[in-house]
A and B are shown apart, each in its own frame.
Chain A
Amino acid sequence: MSVDLAAPPTPRRGGPASLQLVRRIVATPSGAFGFTVAVLLVVVAVFAPVLAPHDYTALDIEHRLEGPSSTYWLGTDNLGRDLLSRLMMGVRIALQIAVPAVVLGVLVGLLLGLAAGYLGGKVDTAIVVILDAIQSFPSVVLALAVLALLGSSSWAIVLVLAVAFVPSFGRVTRTSVQAVQALPYVDAERNLGAGTLRIIGRHVLPNVVPPLIVLMAMNLPSAIGIESGLAFLGLGVQPPTPDWGVILSEGFARIRESPWPVLWTCGVLAVSTLGFTFLGERLRDVLDVRTTEVRS
Chain B
Amino acid sequence: MLIYLARRVGMAVLVLLIVLVFLASLVHILPGDPVSLMLGPRADPELIALARQEMDLDSSVPAQVWHFLANAVGGDLGQDFLTKRPVSELIGAALPNTLVLALTSLLLAVVAAIPLAVVSAARQGSWLDRILGTLSVGIVSIPSYVIGMVLLLLATVWLGWLPAIGTGSFADPLDYLAHLVLPALSLALVWAGYLARLLRSALLEVLGQDYIRAARAYGIAEWRIYYQLAMRNAIPSVVALIGVALGDLMGSAIFIEVIFTRNGLGTLLYNAATQRDHPTMRGGVVVIAVLFVLANLLADLVNRAINPRLREVSSR
Contact = CB atoms under 8 A, between A and B. Distances in A.
Contacts of A151: 32, 37
Interface in A191-233: 221-222, 225-226, 228-229, 232-233
Interface stretch (A83-91, A115-123, A265-273): A265-273
Contacts of B27: 149
B153 interface: yes
Contact of B274 (A234, A266, A276): A234
Contacts of A150: 26, 30-32
Interface residues of B, number: 58
- The majority secondary structure among interface residues of chain A is helix
Interface stretch (A14-22, A46-54, A168-176, A254-262): A254-262
A136 B153 contact: no
Given A141-B285, A269-B146, A277-B138, A132 B11 contact: yes
A226 B142 CA distance: 11
A165 interface: no
A133 B286 CA distance: 12
A278 B137 contact: yes
Contacts of A147: 273
B247 A233 contact: no
A150 B150 CA distance: 32
Interface string A129-161: 110110011111110111111110000100000
Given A138-B251, A140-B255, 15 more contacts: A129-B11, A136-B15, A137-B285, A138-B250, A140-B252, A148-B278, A149-B276, A150-B30, A233-B254, A248-B145, A266-B146, A269-B142, A274-B141, A278-B137, A295-B194
A246 interface: no
A83 to B, nearest CB: 16
Contacts of B225: none
Given A141-B269, A151-B37, A276 B141 contact: yes
A72 interface: no
A111 to B, nearest CB: 19
10 contacts: A30-B137, A133-B18, A133-B19, A137-B288, A148-B34, A148-B278, A149-B27, A149-B32, A150-B30, A229-B255
Contact of A133 (B22, B137, B153, B296): B22
A285 B278 CA distance: 45
A2 B269 CA distance: 67
Contacts of B238: none
B32 A141 contact: no
A235 interface: yes
A112 to B, nearest CB: 14
Interface string B200-217: 000000000000000000
A140 B18 CA distance: 18
Contact of A145 (B15, B32, B273): B273
Contact of A225 (B134, B143, B276): B143
Q: A147, A233, A273 — which one has the most chain B CB atoms within 10 A of its CB? A: A233
B240 interface: no
A233 B15 contact: no
Interface residues of A, number: 48
B289 interface: yes
Nearest to A266: B146
A197 B23 CA distance: 36
Contact of A273 (B22, B142, B277, B296): B142
A137 B289 contact: yes
B272 interface: yes
A29 to B, nearest CB: 9
Contacts of A132: 11, 15
A263 interface: yes
A56 B31 CA distance: 33
B281 interface: yes
Interface string B287-305: 0110011001000000000
A235 B274 contact: yes
Interface string B15-48: 1101100110011001110100100000000000
